[in-house]
Copies of this chain bind each other. A is one copy, B any other.
């Protein structure tokens, strides 16, 4: 008995060398710009405690019993009301499934939509967790480059006109992971039109949308779509970035025929998401005004971190690195002007006490060897400045 017994899919899923290196990012002497991990000091512990007490007092045994596969009814109703109220995105409780984080929504969508060999359009570079999940269904991934306005939909249109026939397009249109880019309104409309014309679904993964630090929000892709079962946009959302990732509470909203299929798939996968997590989450978010205030606290905390990271990069690198100027989310994306292989740089940087994720980890078709993702979410501003100075020392060492 041994690995020769694994399925062909499991044999091709390799543990990544970068992931193995990043285990060192947990060392106390390392300042980590690697993970897209919320600052735990911002978790609303007292509210959670009160929510748990209320859950057991009010919902008692229900919070510990088996639940509906589609998710807690009150939570779906709250999500629906807030979604329509806050960003004008229709989200009927009956066209929604609560998932074990939005990562599971993506996994379930892959199961019910992708046959091996199907073409899938993604941003290039794209979110690693999505690439891992999608690759598990053995598709052909097509990477479309992006700039400060997000995915280059004109390039996608050229590929479609040349014969590309994807079953879906997965993207992170708002504060993209890893580049921080936000898809412009014009491109959002263009992409929805392309999906209708070429008959594919859009998977709008939006975990960061509430974490905006400047300016006004853009309409969600889903709100640009027709409502109801003829829609082409499926929306993935999560409480991980605005409340607490350990709850593993996300949700997927889409056309009824698709949600029905997701519920059947989820039943075989884990029956349902933790009812305890769902009840606690519901009790916290349903308090009038809580989430709006909490999101403001998060914005007020993350905004100066973004500014500190950008200032540190300017101070330590000047023109030697080109960076985006993200207006939200958790990430700064940089490109070194002089040739630096950021995968090689990582082990040197860990020795200097700073961690990041090399660009190539996110690459689909186009190598991103000279690029780098830096997260400003987890560390305080002074530590972020210190991290950029360690990074500069690492680049110096690596260039010698």
Contacts and interface: CB of A to CB of B under 8 A. Distances in A.
Interface in A109-152: 111-115, 129, 132-133, 136-137
Contact of A1 (B101, B255, B271, B273): B255
A363 interface: no
A286 B245 CA distance: 24
A10 B112 contact: yes
Nearest to A14: B264
A111 B61 contact: no
Given A1-B231, A199-B1, A246-B275, A65 B37 contact: yes
A100 B275 CA distance: 11
A97 to B, nearest CB: 13
- Total copies of this chain within the assembly: 2
Interface in A73-116: 99-101, 103-104, 107, 111-115
Contact of A271 (B101, B230, B273): B101
Interface in A246-284: 246-248, 255, 257-258, 260-261, 264-265, 267-277, 280
A162 interface: no
Interface stretch (A48-56, A183-191, A205-213, A299-307): A48-56
Interface string A1-12: 111011111100
Contacts of A56: 45, 48-49
Contacts of A136: 111, 265, 268
B260 A248 contact: no
Contacts of A260: 15
Contacts of A230: 1
Nearest to A107: B269
B113 A66 contact: no
Given A45-B56, A64-B245, 14 more contacts: A1-B257, A2-B229, A6-B112, A7-B115, A8-B115, A10-B264, A13-B265, A37-B65, A66-B246, A100-B270, A100-B274, A103-B268, A103-B269, A107-B268
Q: Which 10 A-B pairs have the closest CB atoms?
A: A40-B61, A246-B275, A64-B244, A10-B112, A100-B270, A64-B246, A132-B268, A274-B274, A133-B268, A104-B270
